[in-house]
Amino acid sequence: MPVGQVIRSHSHIHYVLVDGREVECRPRGKLRLEERRILAGDRVEVTLAPDGEGRIDRVLPRASELRRPPVANVDLCAVVFTLHEPEADYRFLDRVLVHVEHAGIEALLVLNKTDLCTPQEVEGFRRLYGETVGYPVVPVSALTGEGIPDLAARLAGRTSVLAGQSGAGKSLLTRALAPGYQARVGTLARKLGRGRHTTRHVELIRLPAGGLVADAPGFTYLEFEGVEARALGHLFPDFHRVGPCRFDDCLHRAEPGCAVKAAVGERIARHRYEHYLAFLAEIEAQKPW
């Protein structure tokens, strides 16, 4: 039975890439009754009909899954971030990175709109999140083309997702990576006298150098569903670098002998630690009484 990968969906119609060909498929009745949501990125077994359409008979187990954006079997999440237009929101960035770490997916930071930044701003971000926190950083400008070849090389041969805040330029980046692609966009409210657009659906796009990239909807808030308070510190890679705390179950808040607290302001950025404490309080507040 042929196996393909879902590249986009509309209601109960799914477009599946099978042997390099896009096939319009509908799920078999049993799958519809199970009410299991089929995601972009899902690998599926299909039956091909003589008329060129197909039927999805089975969804194969997922290697990974992101909920926001909803996409399956991603092995790299390129988190798109800007310092200007929109202004840098580090708390939002750290929130996204926690979710990527929790999903067990490799993260890549894409600093977009570098044409609006000074070289010092770009280097400062690279030092902070590249050297101190430990994520690879690729500075790019979808407008001028700066850094696009480097980003394309990192995405080649992989299933990736571009994730980030609305207005960060993900769809423009996708068009730079896959010339000729036209995103399905919807108009947002105008701001500062200029129109904004954002993608409405997750769609996997084939890249010229091989691989697939998901142009995903922008989003503004992520809840810490499934993240345990005592596991949160493990989702901050910079915390790992400062040595063990006195207690194995240290929450890095009020415990004596905490290596993380001792490193704040030097090996750990103060805003990262403050975000950790805010996320920890949010997770604890979600606990049922």
| Sequence-distant (≥ 6) Cβ neighbours of residue 212 within 8 angstroms | 5, 7, 17, 41, 158, 159, 160, 204, 205, 206
Known binding-site positions: 112-115, 245, 250, 252, 258
| Sequence-distant (≥ 6) Cβ neighbours of residue 127 within 8 angstroms | none
Report yes or no: 110 and 97 within 8 Å, Cβ to Cβ.
no
Tokens of 183: 């995103």
| Nearest in space to 6 (alpha carbons), one of 36, 46, 33 | 46
Determine the Cα–Cα distance for residues 126 and 177; give it in Å rounded to an integer. Answer: 22
Known binding-site positions for Zn(2+): 245, 250, 252, 258
Tokens of 138: 């690729």
Determine the Cα–Cα distance for residues 147 and 150; give it in Å rounded to an integer. Answer: 5
Taking the CB of residue 179, how many other CB atoms lie within 10 A of it? 7
| Sequence-distant (≥ 6) Cβ neighbours of residue 5 within 8 angstroms | 16, 17, 41, 42, 43, 44, 73, 159, 204, 212
Known binding-site positions for GTP: 112-115
Side chain identity at residue 215, one-letter code: D
Determine the Cα–Cα distance for residues 149 and 270; give it in Å rounded to an integer. Answer: 34
Taking the alpha carbons at both ends of the chain, their separation in whole angstroms is 49
